[in-house]
Amino acid sequence: MKMGIGTEADWPYVGAVLARTGDDEQVEFFRAFVRECKSWGTHFQVESQLACINLKLTKEERETLSMLCYQDDGGKP
């Protein structure tokens, strides 16, 4: 996909626009992101990239994003 972008993206601007869209648009973004990551070949490559991102985020940023991966166990022990 990267090759399909003709110019460098203004990532702070893209992030700000994404943050102000509705949840339906945000879900589309994250689904596309995950689909693209899964096209790389191995789960390890995806985990490695996400780990690198995680290391560069602040604790507060990670806490803010924590609900993206929250799974309710339905009250099961």
CB distance 38 to 30 below 8 Å: no
Torsion of CA 50, 29, 10, 15, to 10 degrees: -80
**DSSP, residue by residue, 40-70:** TS-HHHHHHHHHHHHHHS-HHHHHHHGGGG-
- Helix-strand-coil percent breakdown of the chain, rounded to 5? 70, 0, 30
Q: What pLDDT was estimated at residue 3?
A: 54
Tokens for 44, please give them. Answer: 């390890």
pLDDT digits (tens, 9 = 90+) for 17-57: 999 999 999 999 999 999 999 999 899 999 999 999 999 99
pLDDT digits (tens, 9 = 90+) for 37-47: 999 989 999 99
Write down the pTM of the prediction: 0.77
